[in-house]
Chains A and B, each alone.
Chain A
Amino acid sequence: KAGVTQTPRYLIKTRGQQVTLSCSPISGHRSVSWYQQTPGQGLQFLFEYFSETQRNKGNFPGRFSGRQFSNSRSEMNVSTLELGDSALYLCASSFGATGANNEQFFGPGTRLTVL
């Protein structure tokens, strides 16, 4: 079974630009969560989508948005990039929604660098 895939793996953008990251979950998984990982803040929850609906959202500004398609693939978008948005963005999928005893399967991440 193929794992969680994220594209692109590396991205360099400049301040003010916008970026779209993509995540393909494991086949059959309906939940996709996004996290931002930085050395200073650790792993911060961005949002979770389950069956195309945003089920949960972390404490990030509205510049961060996401969506999930009918095939469970998900995208997250960051508009008006800031230097502080430089991070590793991790996507994780699970069969059921979070809040249950469901393991999350993580992709390798997209490393975003904002110059």
Chain B
Amino acid sequence: AQSVTQLGSHVSVSEGALVLLRCNYSSSVPPYLFWYVQYPNQGLQLLLKYTSAATLVKGINGFEAEFKKSETSFHLTKPSAHMSDAAEYFCAVSDRGTYKYIFGTGTRLKVLA
């Protein structure tokens, strides 16, 4: 069965530093891949999605993610963290076999002043 692993349940970075949030999937057939963000007391909002058109995907708020088939990874990055980026981030896959959306356990990003 498809699974998603997010390494690090909590990540802290200084304002202006690089943000790197890790996501690995398990399927040998690349699923559809997404990153979502959840701000306190809100639902999830799409940051970006992998469409197979390009391995480097650009999303909103300056985030981007690179699909690496050889590493079964879809890590999320942002060159310079802003205080407003503090939130919980979820990697998700849409499994082509079971048609289920599977979320990772989430990474809570803290941005230090």
| Interface residue ranges, A against B (CB under 8 Å) | 4, 33, 35, 42-43, 45, 48, 55-56, 58, 90, 92, 97-109
Given A42-B106, A98-B94, A99-B94, A104:B46 Cβ within 8 A: yes
- Choose the segment among B15-23, B36-44, B62-70 that binds chain A (4+ C-beta atoms closer than 8 Å): B36-44
Secondary structure call for the A interface: strand
Q: Are B32 and A56 in contact (CB under 8 A)?
A: no
Contact for A100 among B43, B45, B94, CB less than 8 A: B94
CB-contact partner of B32 in A33, A48, A100, A105, under 8 A: A100
Residues of B bordering A, CB below 8 Å = 32, 34, 36, 41-46, 49, 51, 90, 94-96, 98-106
Q: What's the count of A-B pairs with C-beta under 8 Å?
A: 61
- Whether A99 touches B42, Cβ cut-off 8 Å, given contacts A43-B103, A104-B101, is no
4 more contacts with CB within 8 A, not counting A42-B105, A90-B44, are A45-B102, A56-B98, A90-B43, A104-B46
When chains A and B are docked, how far (Å) is the Cα of A103 from the Cα of B32? 10
Query: How many angstroms from the CA of A44 to the CA of B102 in the assembled complex?
Result: 8
Given A45-B102, A56-B100, CB of A92 within 8 Å of CB of B44? yes
Measured between beta carbons, the chain B residues less than 8 angstroms from A58 are 100
